[in-house]
Chain A
Amino acid sequence: MAVVALKPGYADAVDFRDRKENFHGNQVVYLHWEEHLSFCSAIAFPLPPEMPFAALKDELIAKFYGMHPDYKSVNWGEVEWKIDGESVIPDMSKSLAENGVGHKSLVCFRTPGLNGYRGSCS
């Protein structure tokens, strides 16, 4: 679409704020536990692309989702993962980048049988 602007060349002069190089070597990654909407939205982290996927699960998810009453019942072998909407089986030993997690990627996980407090998706 043509840019509607007073100043000619406006579109070439703008600076997009969230380019990857502005994050000091990290990339922004969003994490979301489906059917657990007591966490109001996906949560955001600046992470090094070479971080192993396992750290996402063992450190970040444990730390930031661990207080939910469902957390201790999660069977990690059954968890369904999605990266940017595509169903995947992540390789835990490989890095985020090798698993296809890029800048501003959304990583969702679903825990079959566990769908929030009293099944309310909260």
Chain B
Amino acid sequence: MTPPRKKKMNLKQRYALMTRGLDWETSYQKMDDVFPYDTFEGIKITDWSKWEDPFRLTMDAYWKYQGEKERKLYAVLDSFAQNNGQLGISDARYVNAIKLFLTGVTPLEYQAHRHFAHLGRHIRGVGPRVAAQMQSLDELRHAQTQIHTISHYNKYFDGFAEFPHMHDRVWYLSVPKSFFDDACSAGPFEFFTAISFAFEYVLTNLLFVPFMSGAAYNGDLATVTFGFSAQSDEARHMTLGIEVIKFMLEQHPDNLPIVQKWVDKWFWRGHKLLGLVAMMMDYMLPKRIMSWKEAWEIYFTEAGGALFEDLSRYGLRVPKFADIATEEAEHISHQNWSIFYQYTQAAGFHTWLPTDEEMAWLSEKYPNTFDKYYRPRFEMWREMEAKGERFYNNALPQLCQTCQIPMGYTEPGDPTKIGFRSTEFQGERYHFCSDGCKDIFENEPEKFAQAWLPVHQIFQGNCGGADLSDVLKWYHMDNGNDNMDYTGSPDQKQWDAWQAARKRVAS
């Protein structure tokens, strides 16, 4: 006798069983003991079942989709490697943008993987718990596929080999690292607000669009393909971000001031972090996509404006200091590139001065600021280079206690003055680059007074020694190959030799 065939479940039933159906109320342990992390921040959740699952994806479907995407991605990577894809990029200077991505961004994907795994265990509501589990896997895949994609460049160019080690130690990589450490050491709702909402929803287009379009414009097919493979995941992550915010705000009116404070904080932190992307867009791409200022207008002023208008029905307002961030979009890329130019000896990628053509582009894109404040700086440095006196800053910079970036940002309204801010906490002085960073410190001084500031750590003797060469060794930075100007670098020599060989073949 054959058993009667079971009727196949429809998607909705499968989804219900494989997410909500996996949850239970504990009986011999208190729920608060099983889920110890999700109450201490003060966020009040009265009914977890009100969580609207933003994407109805079950784990079995997840494996299937992701497996297909990976097969496609690795097929492209193989063909990129077999066809010597590195020869097809616009110029070897482009590769420095990818160095910044691998050392600065990829380790954050891994950190996100770890923390979403934590949330996938520790959130009481089963809806967000399952969403966090899937995102955790996404982030692990992103880290892994980025490393595989970029590993091809590591065969030919300097600056890639020691990326995880560098991420933990190098002065400017403490900026992305401390950003994520801050989020991961916060409670689960702040982490969701920081990463899922502020970063993945409000600011993500300012990270991914520039890098992936930059890759497309500059002939980097491998990175473009990675971007496509991550795109559908990013759409899911964004949906999670907006759902978390709405859920917190709908659950209890007491949540609004807490959420607002987090939105203010993580918008500002994200804005400072993305200054690295700004400089990449305006200075590091041999073929430019659009200026940072244009990207800010489209993705923050317009898209973000519409978003916050929509959220105003919950009482949420535009992040504090959004107007200052918008003003800084006229300056931040120039100021950041200037930092790296003068500290090229300690940068894990190559630097250069913009060419005449590039300066003309910058003048056109930044009519209010470039010719007045930044062109003269580059012209002075160019004159010094021509005399054989290339400008190096041989002292260490003062860092912001919060964002850890050298305090190189100018006063709102006056680009001729550095904006110094400071405060006292338990009898000690702390310095900040901006009102936004000072506010963040003053809300949580016990946390930020523990900051591991790379410059102070060198002075305390914790970074391999007092000389630059000792510190570079401790960073695993290959002095003379990974750092310094592009002109004269091994990267450039090799690229020029490839170009010369091509010409010989063509003629």
Contacts and interface: CB of A to CB of B under 8 A. Distances in A.
Given A18-B453, A23-B460, A122-B373, A38 B380 contact: yes
B428 interface: yes
Interface string A18-43: 11001110101011101101111111
Interface in A51-80: 60, 63-64, 67, 69
B422 A106 contact: yes
A81 B13 CA distance: 74
A64 B394 contact: yes
Contacts, number: 152
Given A18-B428, A106-B431, A41 B406 contact: yes
Contacts of B396: 43-45
A46 B376 contact: no
A4 B461 CA distance: 32
Contacts of B428: 16, 18-19, 103-104
B456 A28 contact: yes
8 contacts: A10-B446, A16-B428, A28-B459, A31-B395, A40-B335, A40-B342, A120-B376, A121-B415
Interface in B390-416: 391, 393-399, 406-408, 410, 415-416
A17 B40 contact: no
Contact of B377 (A69, A102, A117): A117
Interface of A: 1, 3-6, 10-11, 14-19, 22-24, 26, 28, 30-32, 34-35, 37-46, 60, 63-64, 67, 69, 84-85, 102-106, 115-118, 120-122
A14 B450 contact: yes
Interface in B432-469: 442-444, 446, 449-453, 455-457, 459-461
Contacts of A35: 416-417
B410 A37 contact: yes
Given A38-B338, A40-B406, A3 B455 contact: no
A39 B407 CA distance: 11
Which 5 A-B residue pairings sit nearest by Cβ, starting from the closest? Answer: A120-B376, A43-B395, A122-B377, A121-B416, A117-B380
Most chain B Cβ neighbours within 10 Å, of A38, A84, A106, A116: A38
Nearest to A121: B416
Contacts of A117: 376-377, 379-380
Nearest to B446: A11
A89 B21 CA distance: 75
Given A4-B41, A11-B446, A42 B36 contact: no
Query: Among the interface residues A1, A17, A44, A116, which one has the most CB atoms of the partner chain B within 10 A?
Result: A44
B418 interface: yes
Nearest to B448: A16
